[in-house]
Structure 1
Amino acid sequence: MRETQLPYCDLFFKDTHVILVMHEGSAMTIEIAAEITSILESYYKGKNFILITHRKFPHDIDLNVYKGRILKNMIGFAIVSDDPEEMQRAMEEQSLWDEAFTFFTTLEEAENWATSFFD
């Protein structure tokens, strides 16, 4: 597993999926999303993958990130949190995403879901 640490998040790369953990007090802006997308593009190089965002800490999200450049090989998106408010926000986000999108309360469930796409 490869790990990349940025000032606002950590990325944990696996063969089938990447886990994104935003730092406490940071925000997902269009600019940050563009930088992360470039890193994902470079790492996966056209190979299909799932993005799992493990929301350990509350953070703001500019919903316009869903209108930005989305990688065609990002075939699914999962949100992990045990916070009911995050589940409500995920419902808003789901309407903005065209591919597989789901919500889990544990990282293990999300990773099992992600790997099931590649079995």
Structure 2
Amino acid sequence: MVQKINTDFCELHLYTKYAILKVFENVFYDVEKATIVQRKFQDFFENKPFVLISDRNIKHEVDFKLYKSNTLQNIEGLAIVSANPEERERAVLEQPHFSKSFAFFEKLGDAQNWAEAFFR
């Protein structure tokens, strides 16, 4: 890991080619919070492409409006990670709203391997 950032609603782990976003329990992750996170991504990645891994093993809600907001253009892939079957169902609903590579994993390590291999 290159950098770890904590906010009052999430934890970010930033690596060379990917970022892991872990939103805290019972947080509603909305456009306002996403804007804060996007600034952190912009500062770290600048304009370099990266993959976002959303660790959803902790229960929280995601506002679908995020997919319509002006997200960073350099996010090339999105991985959702959770062992919870309800999260898989929600990811299926989210996938059509994300126009780039989208994957679901039950284990964080599998998502990290996918992200590392993404730019080879």
TM-score computed with the length of structure 1 as normaliser? 0.97
- Verify the 8 A CA contact 2:78 2:101 in the aligned structure 1: yes
Equivalent AA in structure 2 for residue 45 of structure 1: E
Alignment size in residue pairs: 119
Q: 1:29-53: per-residue Cα shift (whole Å, max 9, x none)?
A: 1100111111111110001100000
Greater shift in the superposed pair: 37-46 or 4-13: 37-46
Q: Within 5 Å, which residues of 2 pair with 1:1-119?
A: 1-119=2-120
Flag structure 2 segments of 5+ consecutive residues without an equivalent: none
SS of the aligned residue for 1:57 comes to coil
Greater shift in the superposed pair: 28-37 or 84-93: 28-37
Cα separation, 2, equivalents of 1:71 and 1:47: 10
- Verify the 8 A CA contact 1:79 1:104 in the aligned structure 2: yes
Cα separation, 2, equivalents of 1:26 and 1:56: 13
- Superposition deviation, residue 24 in structure 1: 0.9
What stretches of structure 1 move > 2 A for 4+ residues in a row? none
Cα separation, 2, equivalents of 1:27 and 1:52: 17
Flag structure 1 segments of 5+ consecutive residues without an equivalent: none
Cα separation, 2, equivalents of 1:93 and 1:25: 19
- Verify the 8 A CA contact 2:57 2:84 in the aligned structure 1: no
SS of the aligned residue for 2:119 comes to coil
Query: What is the percent sequence identity of the aligned residues?
Result: 34
Cα separation, 2, equivalents of 1:70 and 1:31: 12
Equivalent AA in structure 2 for residue 19 of structure 1: I
